[in-house]
């Protein structure tokens, strides 16, 4: 009885110590969670010389080593003023952006006032969690001012489309509740950050996504040289090869699997190295299945782009391909991001859209941000000819972009064209133009020509009298309050 009593006492003391330690650890963790206040000012893409009115949003973040705050890019994109507050405190400190990866929806902030970081123990990054592992999400969602946390489990790990960039990366699906304001907050397992809260699926119950640690670590490693280069892309357009007849036609035998190259984007790392109708069998020694997936852990598969996206910009990658029945290895240097290889840019943040005005005709490169001006249902409401270009085409030459006539500022000089916005321009005075800079160059190099003739993708023509266009140029800009006939980057 005496020995049992001591054992009982020791057990009580041990449990008390453990509870105290867990309480202290929990308090330290809470102190590392930050609320972010961002004032955003977005450009109006259908009036690219104008800015929308400022809007305030809130988000979350966490302190990591180096007096840095890790959060989402979409929390701070297009910011004009940022503040941060600590857990349990009302004071707001002025913050600034250190680096942003819009493609991976990640950002780093800091606060110059060192008082902000006193008493805060930076959080550490963990590893990629297992399916069904428990996770806790910390942040400041709408509906209250104090710190909130929700718990759940890891439901799925695979590639998903990041809504901020419209690019697919590895993502972790969780069933913990995520609401507006949670964005940028940490997802914690065993006291370590295993991801950054990113987005939730609309019209679904408790399906949320976080940016996983491998993507976060890639971002942080990228910044070690003091600049952000981004996540590389190989530039291959591929399709699955699950049909037996197709595999036989392109020379796949036995247990060989892979994907068929249908196009190589000009100017990409694989341009001149890989050809259409090549079959890609493996990436860096990792076998590609006929559906285009690769195994990233035992029994777990995701998109074949996974092993490309693990690389830093400028690194080498080895592709094993089969060309006309012959196997070979191709080494490429990864030098381009997905954003720079798309015909229609997938995102445009923290920058003003490019534009050019001639005779009241307003030209601007087509972008996803322009299409989003049609609101939440833009996939249904935006012009179908522009949506087709977004979904179904890729550059045919290096530097190609879609030159869109986004608007007509009505005047006598452009009479007859007032109802012709959203015409894609392919030629000027019989010369093919591949981007806005080329359009401007052709227009301004043809001063001796009495007319300016624009040809559209639908083989229609828009003709301006050059002398009248030049004569009324400043008048049109003045009538519509346009400060200059072109964006700053084109002046």
**Distant-in-sequence, close-in-space partners of 289: CB < 8 Å, separation ≥ 6:** 257, 301
Encoded tokens for 201: 């699926």
Give yes or no for a contact between 455 and 461, defined as CB atoms under 8 angstroms apart: yes
Nearest residue to 402 via CA among 379, 426, 421? 426
Which residue shows structure tokens 């600034």?
A: 96
- DSSP code at position 217: H
Contact indicator for 175, 152 with CB cutoff of 8 Å: yes
Which runs of consecutive H residues, i.e. helices, occur in 100-163? none
Q: Which of 276, 332, 282, 310 is nearest to 159 (CA)?
A: 310
Specify whether the CB–CB gap between 87 and 147 falls below 8 A.
yes
- Percent helix / strand / coil, the chain, rounded to 5: 25, 35, 40
Q: Which helix (H) or strand (E) holds 5?
A: helix 2-31
Which ranges of 279-354 does DSSP label H, i.e. alpha helix? 306-309, 338-341
Look up residue 68 and give its two tokens. Answer: 């840095």
Beta bridge mates, 430: none
Catalytic residue numbers read: 74, 105, 183
- Exposure string of 376-406, with b = 16+ CB inside 10 Å and e = fewer, is eeeeeebeeebbebbeeebbeeeebbbbbbb
Q: Where does 144-276 show beta strands of DSSP type E? A: 148-162, 167-174, 186-189, 192-200, 208-212, 236-239, 259-264
Distance CA 80, CA 232 (A): 29
39, burial (CB in 10 Å: exposed 0-12, middle 13-18, buried 19+): middle
In whole angstroms, what is the distance from residue 67 CA to residue 206 CA?
33
* Type and span of the H or E element at 8: helix 2-31
Decide if 132 contacts 173 (C-beta within 8 A).
no
**Cβ neighbour number for residue 118 with a 10 Å cutoff:** 8
> In the numeric block, which tokens belong to residue 305?
């782009």
């Amino acid at each position: 009885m005496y020995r049992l009593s001591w054992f009982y006492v020791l057990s009580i003391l041990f449990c008390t110590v453990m509870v105290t330690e867990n309480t202290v650890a929990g308090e330290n963790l809470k102190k590392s969670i930050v609320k972010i206040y961002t004032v955003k000012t977005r450009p109006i893409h259908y009036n690219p010389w104008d800015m929308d009115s400022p809007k305030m949003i809130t988000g979350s973040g966490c302190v990591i080593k180096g007096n840095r705050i890790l959060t989402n890019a979409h929390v701070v994109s297009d910011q004009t003023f940022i503040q941060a507050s600590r857990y349990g405190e009302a004071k707001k400190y002025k913050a600034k952006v250190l680096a942003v990866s819009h493609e991976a929806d990640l950002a780093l902030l800091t606060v110059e006032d060192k008082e902000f970081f006193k008493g805060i123990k930076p959080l550490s990054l963990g590893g990629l969690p297992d399916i069904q592992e428990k996770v806790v999400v910390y942040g400041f969602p709408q509906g209250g001012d104090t710190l909130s946390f929700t718990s759940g489990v890891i439901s799925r790990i695979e590639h998903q489309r990041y809504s901020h960039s419209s690019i697919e990366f590895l993502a972790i699906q969780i069933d913990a509740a995520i609401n507006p304001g949670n964005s940028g907050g940490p997802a914690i397992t065993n006291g370590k950050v295993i991801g950054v809260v990113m987005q939730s699926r609309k019209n679904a119950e408790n399906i949320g996504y976080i940016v996983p640690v491998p993507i976060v670590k890639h971002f942080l490693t990228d910044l070690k040289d003091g600049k952000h280069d981004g996540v590389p892309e190989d530039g291959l357009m591929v399709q699955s090869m699950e049909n037996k007849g197709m595999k036989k036609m392109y020379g796949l035998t036995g247990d060989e699997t892979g994907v068929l190259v249908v196009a190589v984007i000009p100017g990409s790392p694989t341009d001149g190295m890989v050809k259409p109708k090549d079959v890609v069998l493996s990436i860096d020694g990792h076998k590609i299945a006929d559906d285009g997936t690769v195994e990233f852990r035992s029994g777990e598969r995701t998109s074949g782009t996974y092993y490309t996206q693990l690389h830093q910009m400028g690194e080498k990658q080895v592709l094993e391909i089969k060309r006309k029945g012959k196997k070979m290895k191709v080494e490429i240097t990864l030098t381009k991001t997905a954003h720079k290889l798309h015909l229609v840019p997938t995102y445009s943040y923290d920058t003003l859209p490019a534009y050019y005005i001639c005779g009241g005709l307003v030209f601007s490169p087509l972008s996803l941000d322009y299409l989003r001006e049609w609101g939440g249902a833009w996939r249904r409401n935006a012009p179908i000819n522009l949506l087709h270009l977004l979904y179904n085409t890729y550059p045919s030459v290096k530097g190609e972009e879609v030159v869109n006539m986004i608007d007509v500022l009505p005047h006598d000089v452009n009479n007859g064209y007032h109802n012709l916005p959203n015409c894609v321009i392919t030629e000027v005075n019989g010369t093919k133009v591949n981007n806005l800079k080329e359009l401007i160059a052709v227009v301004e190099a043809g001063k001796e020509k009495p007319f300016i003739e624009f040809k559209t993708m639908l083989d229609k023509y828009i003709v301006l009298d050059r002398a009248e266009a030049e004569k009324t140029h400043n008048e049109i800009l003045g009538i519509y309050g346009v400060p200059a006939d072109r964006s700053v980057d084109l002046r």
